[in-house]
Amino acid sequence: MNREDFDKEWIVRLVLLLFALSSLLFLFIIFIFILTEGLPLFYKVGVRNIVLGMKWAPTKASFGIFPMIISSFMVTFGALVVGAPLALACATYLSEYAGKKTKLFLKPSLELLAGIPSVVYGFLGVVYIVPIIREHLGGAGFSILSTSLVLGIMILPTITSISFDSLMSVPSAFREGSLAMGATKWQTISRVVLPAARSGILASFILGMGRAVGETMAVIMVAGNALKIPTSLLDPLRTLTSNIALELAYATGDHRRALFSTGVVLLVIIMGLNLIANFWVKAKVAK
């Protein structure tokens, strides 16, 4: 390598390193700006009055977001109840029962569907699910039930696709061993394949929950956005994400800061979920 090439290589290496560090820089400034806008209100009003506060009246200095935290958890759990069993059944069918052609066709189709914008799910929820609930079950239709259904359907492709990958990564020797001992196909799946793929499946559920808890626009459309803790499946609710999106456009002063505080709480929840998911994935790799 001549001198000129050597210098050039060093410049290239340096520039690429700077590029690689840019992700960290972005992460850093995102956190700094959300925190500098969101944290001061926690000092001023008190963490307790925000996180456990029941009343949200930001123009009258009440910044309680407890009902929204509860609502976010409720619909995320609801989405999982709706989506996870179906998605897992679908993934199991695809990996264990489906023929090669079905697999080749269905897996990419599911991934294509994962790209459908969430607003489309929200819109169809308003047009079809909300009126059906209103007419047959009562209430306004904008409810935990409608939101859970919309979010549950929305996360189907994500969970199916990741669970499928983890089921496929179970070595076929496991299946052959079990079948050779006279176990039926279902005994093999339920006692050998699913337990072996457990960590990947759990990680897919957590990722699905992450998508559900972070979803904003679809939720605004079907949740009704009321400010109370919902007490029945048919009650309307407002999540942390929709609280931010509903009011950010016109909020000023402490009101706007309160929306950033809402964002801080949301970030903490998301980071918690990601840590759990990472922990499971690591446990899987270690195994």
The reply to whether 268 sits near another protein by the rule CB under 8 A is: no
The reply to whether 263 sits near another protein by the rule CB under 8 A is: yes
Q: Which is nearer to another protein, 140 or 217 (CB)?
A: 217
Judged by CB under 8 A, the stretch of 45-53, 58-66, 73-81, 83-91 that binds another protein is 83-91
The reply to whether 119 sits near another protein by the rule CB under 8 A is: yes
Judged by CB under 8 A, the stretch of 58-66, 110-118, 130-138, 193-201 that binds another protein is 110-118
Q: How far is the CB of 221 from another protein (least distance, A)?
A: 6
Please select the residue that binds another protein; options are 52, 57, 120, 137, rule is CB under 8 A: 120
Q: How far is the CB of 122 from another protein (least distance, A)?
A: 8
Cβ atoms within 10 Å of 152's Cβ, excluding its own: 24
The reply to whether 124 sits near another protein by the rule CB under 8 A is: yes
Q: How far is the CB of 133 from another protein (least distance, A)?
A: 17
For 154-188, letters b (16+ CB in 10 Å) and e give bbbbbbbbbbbebbbebeeeebeebeeeebeeeeb
Q: How far is the CB of 232 from another protein (least distance, A)?
A: 25
- In the window 18-57, what residues touch another protein (CB under 8 A)? 19-24, 26-27, 29-30, 33-34, 37
- In the window 188-247, what residues touch another protein (CB under 8 A)? 189, 210, 213-217, 220-221, 241, 244-245
The reply to whether 106 sits near another protein by the rule CB under 8 A is: yes
The reply to whether 285 sits near another protein by the rule CB under 8 A is: no
The reply to whether 72 sits near another protein by the rule CB under 8 A is: no
Q: How far is the CB of 231 from another protein (least distance, A)?
A: 26
d(CA 116, CA 127): 17
- Going by C-alpha positions, the residue among 183, 178, 164 that lies closest to residue 97 is 164
Please select the residue that binds another protein; options are 65, 69, 80, 153, rule is CB under 8 A: 153
d(CA 152, CA 82): 5
The reply to whether 89 sits near another protein by the rule CB under 8 A is: yes
